[in-house]
Structure formats: structure tokens, C-alpha cells
Structure 1
Amino acid sequence: MKKHIFIFLVIMTSLGLSSYRWGFYAHRRINRLAVFTIPPELMGFYKKHIVYLTENAINPDQRRYAVDNEAPRHYIDLDVYGDSALQVVPHNWFDAVEKYTEDTLQAYGIVPWHITLMKFLLTKAFEEKDLDKILRYSADIGHYIGDSNVPLHTTENYNGQMTGQYGIHGFWESRLPELYADDYDFFVGKAEYVDNVQERAWEAVTAAHLAMDSVLSFEKELSKRFPESKKYSYEERGNSTIKVYSKKYSHAYDQMLDGMVERRMRASIKMVGDIWYTCWVDAGQPDVEVLKSLEIEEKTKKQMEEEKKKWEQRTVKSREHN
């Protein structure tokens, strides 16, 4: 894993600004903390596999560079649908396809609809007591839920490239959590059953999108008060020297956001736990002792390793978030 991270840092250094993305830090932390929200009757199963769920929280991000249709599952560019997007875009997939066509939806992102699909797949995996799929879909849906709660995953201006704020994506979702997450309050209570996962996904996207203007406008305002030499600094990461947003600039931005990153991470943790639990309930609450007795098959482990080697080849061009 350290080798993979180092390779990623080298790539980011060549681009001029470091980026860990929500995936390399926050996604792992979100999935891990979601385990502790699960009610006692199911927690034993998820705790047994907490390492898997934590380590594989970034798999969908790695697949973005190897699977053609993966990238749109991580975002939705709501602003391309107009100022009233939250009111006019249908929440039901088939209604949305009828209104805009599937090609259009895929072009501008499908994260809320994909969460609904993943909920169906995870429920079915529980019904079939298929451990490999339960763990894979649990880790994956946690990732997509995390993405749905990120404001910059709801706009075409996802990295500030349209407003002269290139690099803000990694700044908001990676640099700030990396610096301040240890001080965040991640106690979100116990997971609860979700009556309508489709609407819950849209609630997440809506809350994130409503915060998007502040993410951009606050940084734009702050940058006017900091000269370039104070806005950025350099840090040693492994064997590399990485350009990052300075701690002073990061602190000022975090203060302006007034806990926004913490709130979006808390919302993600709670939502992941809620939907994991909901899938198990909707599957008829299969015996947890039976689930705990299952082990991942060796062929599945080998398949996962082969997949990850393929992902590292980065054969598909995808949105960058540095």
C-alpha cells in the first residue's frame, strides 16, 4: 500500500500540487467509523471485516482509471441542468432517462442513482449470504456515499478550473481533513433504517450542492488576502517534496467554512452505516453468526489482486482532482 501511495504522490508532484483526494484518507476513515454505528445485532459481522472495509474504501477511485463507465458514478454536475436543477431533475432513474436520455446522465454524473443501484446489489448479496459480494459492495457503496456528500462532486467546476481556483478540490476534501480530522467529532449515533434510499441519496447530494457556492466563494475571497508565497508551502512526503496549501492558509479557510468538512464527513459516516444496516434488514436479517462464519475465497483474493494491478496501469482518462 505504501508503494502505491508513493507512486500516486510522484504523479501528483509532476502536476505541481499534491492531492490525496477524499479517497486516500477520508474514504478509509468514513468506512471504518461507519462500522461503529452499526447496531449490536449486526456490528460483530462488520467489525470482523473492518480492515477489509477500510483498505478497500478507495477501490472505486482506483477503478476510475481502468473502467470506462466508472467515473460518472462519483459525481453529478447539477449546474449543467440549470439553476433549478434540484427541483427539475427527476430522482427516479427511469424518469430522468426519459427526460434527459441516458447518454446525458452518464456525461454529467450519476452518483445518486448509482447509490440506489448499489443498495439493491448489497441487499441481494445479503440475501444470498455471498460474503465476497457483501464486502465488495459494502466497501464500494461507502465510497459513493462519501462522494455524494462532497460539494465539489456536484458541479461542473469540480476543481475550480472555471473560476481560476485550480486545485481547490484536493484542498477541500483532502488537505483540510488531513490537517484537522483528528479534532472532528465523529460520534454520530447508531445506524437507523432508511425507508427510501433513493431519496436519502438525493438529500445528501442536495446538502452538498447547497454548500458548493461557499466552498468556491470563500476560497476566492481568502486568496485575495494571501500572497502566493504565503498561500503555498512545501512538505516532505516519502522521498518527495510536495507543494501543498500552507497550514496558515488552510487554517484560515477551515475557519471560514465553519465546520463544513466535519459536517460532510459526519453525514457520510452516518449515511454509510444507515444504508449498510438497511440492506441487511431488507434482506430479511440473515443470521449474523452464519455470516461471521464465512471466509473470503482464495480465488476472490487473487482476483482482487489482479484487478488492482490492472487499475494501476491507468489506461482510462478520468477527471483529475489535484
Structure 2
Amino acid sequence: MNRLAVYSLPPELITFYKPQIQFITEKAVNPDRRRYAVEGEAEKHYIDLDQYGDSALTILPIYWNEAVEKFGEDSLRAHGIGPWSAYLTFLNLVEAFEKKNSAAILRLSADLGHYLGDLNVPLHTTMNYNGQLTGQEGIHGFWESRVPELLSQNFSLWVGKAEYIKKPQEAIWKAVEEAHSQVDSVLNFERELSRQFSDDQKYSFEERNRLTTRVYSQEFTEAYAIALDGMVERQMRKSIKMIAGFWYTAWVNAGQPDLSKFETNTQPEEEELPTNPSLRVRTHDN
């Protein structure tokens, strides 16, 4: 999605971002890699709104300091800090533009794109993130990866020009609210279809990395996408639009520095991310 977001940027930004489009695209996965290496990273990718009850979006302060005062930092981190962390990454990107730090701009842009994309995924807003509470293990990867893998060639992912976001914090929480409102549909439609498909119809086998792997079948995936009525495509479009808008807004808020004078040949140093086996990380690759 980072790659597609680049093409929504205005000329003043695209001349900086486009030469680095490969970096912006490839390094979008770094936050996921950090989950297994850096303490405190995993909880930046989600928020379990249902942990706070039906009034979660009413009782949760959008400002981090107020949230910490009300719930305590340990409790917040235990249930995900995605919206607050994404906003902090945005503020850091503004600062990077102000300091004309090309390497930091690229790194933070890639990170921010990842975090915003996560928060537009319904299953990143619930305790039942992989259907593990309802006997639907694997639904996270199904919605987030398998559906786009098989069907995205038919998606319309051009979202138009990036727009300035007047209230970034509120925009993040609005995206989370909209994503969370679709959790029931994500789970219920899969459950209903599973009753209609036998296991040999629901799953098929493909060779991946020289291993035979069980995957959701083309037929089941198409039926699920039809039941969702384009939800995956809509959420992908929202993510792309949001990512481009946040990059653009960070640049504007930094005073619209002349990016043509920025160093574009220097990329951030490669992150060393050795796996830390002591970290507890949510897995949803099934």
C-alpha cells in the first residue's frame, strides 16, 4: 500500500518519494519484523477495543497522557496502543521533515504506512484477532492476505490525490472506529460460509517454498469476498488514501520544506533485528 500511496502525492513530494519507492515498499514490513525483536513493538499494531466494552470509543481518551492517567500504561499496552503509536510516528515524521533528515523521513514514512494499514484492518481492533475465540483460527491471514492475493487484480486502488488532514488524531480514531464496526461481519460471514462448504471445498493445497501448504480455496475465497461486498478492497483504498494524506500532512505541518534540496541518495541503515524468543507476540499466519 505504501507503493500505491506514493502515486497520490503532489509533485512537491513525489519527486522525493518516487526515487525511493522500492525502499518505502520493501521496508513497510520492518515493523512486523520488529515485533519479534524489539520489546514494546508488538502492541503498536493493534488495539483490543472490545476489552473496554461497548463504550470503548467513548471512554478511551485520544490523548496518550490522559489515557495513561485513566488506565495506566501497562494496562494500555496489554491491550494494544495502535492509535496512539501511529500518531506519535506521525509527529516524528513532521519533525524529520523540519530537520530535513531524509533517512528519517523514509524510515518513518514506511513505518507510518504500516501502522495506518494495520488500523484499517478490522481484526486489528479486537481480542478475537485470529478467530481463536470462536473456532475460526486463520481468519486473520485469510482476510488480510489470501483475499488480496487472489482477488486484488480486480481491485480499483487508485484513490486520487492526497488530501490535507486537519485533525490527524481524530482521523486515526475514526479509521479504527470504522474498522471495528466491521468485525462482526468479518467473523459471521466466514462462519456461515464454513457451514456451506465441506473442508475439501473450503481448502486446497499449493506448493510454497517447496512445501505443500493448505490454503483457503479459490471458490471459498471468492464466496467470502462476495459476502463481504467489497470490504477488503474498501479498507485497502482507505489505507492508501490515509497513508498518502498523512505523509502530505506531515510535510505541510513542517512548513512545506523544499524537498528538491534534500539528499535522495542516502537511505537509512539496515535495521539489525535478531529474533528475541522471550517476546510474547500475537501470531495470525495460520
Same fold (TM over 0.5): yes
2:105 to 134, 145, 148: 134
The corresponding residue for 2:266 is 296
2:207 to 231, 236, 243: 236
In structure 1, C-alpha distance between the alignment counterparts of 2:86 and 2:41, rounded to whole Å: 13
The corresponding residue for 1:276 is 247
In structure 2, C-alpha distance between the alignment counterparts of 1:217 and 1:175, rounded to whole Å: 18
Letter in 2 for 1:318: V
Q: Matches of residues 235-254 of structure 1 in structure 2 within 5 Å?
A: 235-254=206-225
In structure 2, C-alpha distance between the alignment counterparts of 1:86 and 1:229, rounded to whole Å: 41
> CA shift at 1:316, angstroms?
2.6
> CA shift at 1:296, angstroms?
1.6
Q: Matches of residues 73-152 of structure 1 in structure 2 within 5 Å?
A: 73-152=44-123
Change in Cα spacing, 1:42 to 1:112, as seen in structure 2 (3 Å) is same
> CA shift at 1:238, angstroms?
2.8
In structure 2, C-alpha distance between the alignment counterparts of 1:152 and 1:138, rounded to whole Å: 23
**How many residues matched?**
285
Letter in 1 for 2:103: D
SS at match of 1:280: helix
In structure 2, C-alpha distance between the alignment counterparts of 1:295 and 1:257, rounded to whole Å: 43
In structure 2, C-alpha distance between the alignment counterparts of 1:211 and 1:235, rounded to whole Å: 30
The corresponding residue for 1:192 is 163
For the 8 Å contact 1:66–1:315, the answer to whether it is kept is: no
In structure 2, C-alpha distance between the alignment counterparts of 1:238 and 1:71, rounded to whole Å: 27
Letter in 2 for 1:190: K
Letter in 2 for 1:205: V
In structure 2, C-alpha distance between the alignment counterparts of 1:42 and 1:173, rounded to whole Å: 29
1:320 to 273, 280, 283: 283
SS at match of 2:207: strand
For the 8 Å contact 2:19–2:264, the answer to whether it is kept is: no
Deviates more, 1:38-47 or 1:254-263: 38-47
TM-score by length of 1: 0.86
In structure 2, C-alpha distance between the alignment counterparts of 1:158 and 1:294, rounded to whole Å: 39
> CA shift at 1:317, angstroms?
3.0
Q: Matches of residues 135-174 of structure 1 in structure 2 within 5 Å?
A: 135-174=106-145
> CA shift at 1:71, angstroms?
0.5
> CA shift at 1:237, angstroms?
1.4
The corresponding residue for 1:210 is 181
RMSD: 1.2
Percentage of identical aligned residues: 55
The corresponding residue for 2:20 is 49
For the 8 Å contact 1:37–1:189, the answer to whether it is kept is: yes
> CA shift at 1:315, angstroms?
5.4
TM-score by length of 2: 0.97
In structure 1, C-alpha distance between the alignment counterparts of 2:8 and 2:229, rounded to whole Å: 25
Change in Cα spacing, 1:184 to 1:314, as seen in structure 2 (3 Å) is farther
In structure 1, C-alpha distance between the alignment counterparts of 2:264 and 2:21, rounded to whole Å: 15
> CA shift at 1:45, angstroms?
0.6
Cα deviation digits, residues 239-291 of structure 1 (max 9, x gap): 11111011111111111001000000000000000000011111111112112
> CA shift at 1:294, angstroms?
3.7
The corresponding residue for 2:148 is 177
Letter in 2 for 1:51: Q
Q: Matches of residues 33-44 of structure 1 in structure 2 within 5 Å?
A: 33-44=4-15
In structure 2, C-alpha distance between the alignment counterparts of 1:155 and 1:49, rounded to whole Å: 34
SS at match of 2:213: strand
SS at match of 1:242: strand
In structure 2, C-alpha distance between the alignment counterparts of 1:114 and 1:244, rounded to whole Å: 33
In the alignment, structure 1 segments of 5+ residues that lack a partner are 1-29
In structure 2, C-alpha distance between the alignment counterparts of 1:55 and 1:249, rounded to whole Å: 30
The corresponding residue for 1:70 is 41
Letter in 2 for 1:321: H
